[in-house]
Structure 1
């Protein structure tokens, strides 16, 4: 799925917010054994009731199917992330590119942060856009996927009569809306990182003695940019200094940061983590 240009993404944002608020907060897959088909269902949190709204066709690519099933939750997560990052930018005197009130309570912020890497990576695997079609074999409306190789539309789902209008609208527009939000979140994170102080330089090596990995790890764990890196790349649920330090010890397989200076295996693991951080910071 090609990232949406920022201007297009911003133009879509009011419609994305409206659709996300009106549609059901969660969908799920359910195997209908009697009909021998995979159904996309509305899921009611309180009762656990599921209501089929579409049939996912066997030829639906895995990435498209995953995006389809998770669309409401992923859009809620992206809107929550965008609202949080825009709030931080405004707190630092940076104007937001669009004067729109973003909903901030669609999903827990920690859950949204945890979902970000999966959303970002999965959305990149979805090729082509979706559109509304018509299944001539069943006489029902459907969702079609534009094959970027052939230019032809291929059916990937059949929409059932029980599907509410707003959920149908979200279903058809899910790839475009998610691509737009991913582009906006990426841009907002880039702007936020640009305001962060540069990371501490690595201690000099060579004649002045061995590198003090423990000291550098301690410095970086206290820096916001390193905490964000650990949250995005290594699943830290909530980026703060304590959790960052815990994750560094876990990744380097040590119980104390001091072991980074005495354990060759731990030192190597730290150097690899530090190199990964430097590449991430340069490329994002």
Structure 2
């Protein structure tokens, strides 16, 4: 399998897309059946039956079990991945739809704005840290180096500026958007 340019390893998203394509193209009903003294694996879709494999008696039992369970586990994992992806998109959408308070009284009372809080939370996220390291060459060895790198990238001296400076807020929103795109391409 090749990457988007036609060579090298595929991205994680390309691999998931390929798994989905294979699952969609395969017959949905897989069974283990005895036939002429042998054990065969069949796939069917209504009246159409395809004899996929014959299990050899001398094959290791664990390997036979692995092969027999693959179709069901393949469909299960794709379903779980789809559910998790949907929930992740919902959560990231909720986080990005929050906006800074309209009045500065919340910030002046010591409450952290949504953007500043989200920035702090994302800086602790392992996937975000990898994004910072790979895409922006930010040192992720300590929490302080991560915070310094993000502040430099956003051209702010404090995360609190994300709630008081509209330009800083726009830079943060764009930065988070690029992180989301990067996550989809993993």
TM score, norm. by length of structure 1: 0.31
Q: Which has the higher contact order (CA 8 A, sep 6+)?
A: 1
TM-score relative to the length of structure 2: 0.45
